[in-house]
Chains A and B, each alone.
Chain A
Amino acid sequence: AIQLTQSPSSLSASVGDRVTITCRASQGISSALAWYQQKPGKAPKLLIYDASSLESGVPSRFSGSGSGTDFTLTISSLQPEDFATYYCQQFNSYPQPLTFGGGTKVEIK
């Protein structure tokens, strides 16, 4: 199965900071990558699909980039409502299993 490694696993940041989370795939997945935000007690929410396409209704401070094996989620100016856990997911692999990264928890500094 394709492994996704997210880094860092957690970070502390302040409101207004620029935050970058990376996701590395164990083999090339083209642009078949999505990013999700999950808050405690809630289902995940799709932010980015196809590596860089912003889901409808998601604020433009979120952006995604990358292709092949290296991907990035950037929050240009962190807002109070952005403190959450973020996951990457690859969907290039059928019939191999679809996989998620281990998550990155963004906490308040």
Chain B
Amino acid sequence: EVQLVESGGGLVQPGRSLRLSCAASGFTFDDYAMHWVRQAPGKGLEWVSGISWNSGSIGYADSVKGRFTISRDNAKNSLYLQMNSLRAEDTALYYCAKVFGYQLLFHAFDIWGQGTMVTVSS
């Protein structure tokens, strides 16, 4: 079964850091780009960051550029998001998502995890 499972969310104070993980299974992880998408409570979807299959290309939303770092470990079938200098507006459910197109950085997302909640509050 193709599956993505996120972990690492929680309650964190403003200015602190958090690292999210996404464990992939059921597909050849190192053939596909991976992304993070977030959704604030009651709001729409916001793309956060994406990384190519070989980590050669990376992109970030302007709202997180310079604070968040995406990475992957193909040997462990895992995707990560290091979030530093967290703000209240980063509070959201964070999804990892697999790109549909083989070795494309940007494409539709055909597989999504269930999400991990990040709450930034003092």
Contacts and interface: CB of A to CB of B under 8 A. Distances in A.
Interface residues of B, number: 24
Interface in B4-56: 35, 37, 44-47, 50
Given A43-B113, A43-B114, A44-B112, A97 B62 contact: yes
B113 A34 contact: no
Contacts of B57: 94
A49 B111 CA distance: 13
A97 to B, nearest CB: 5
A97 B108 contact: no
Interface residues of A, number: 26
Interface in A73-109: 87, 89, 91-95, 97-103
A46 interface: yes
Counting chain B CB atoms within 10 Å of each CB, which of A43, A87, A93, A99 scores highest? A43
Interface of A: 1, 32, 34, 36, 38, 43-46, 49-50, 55, 87, 89, 91-95, 97-103
Interface of B: 35, 37, 44-47, 50, 57, 59-62, 95, 100, 105-110, 112-115
Given A43-B115, A55-B108, 6 more contacts: A34-B108, A34-B109, A44-B109, A50-B108, A93-B106, A103-B44
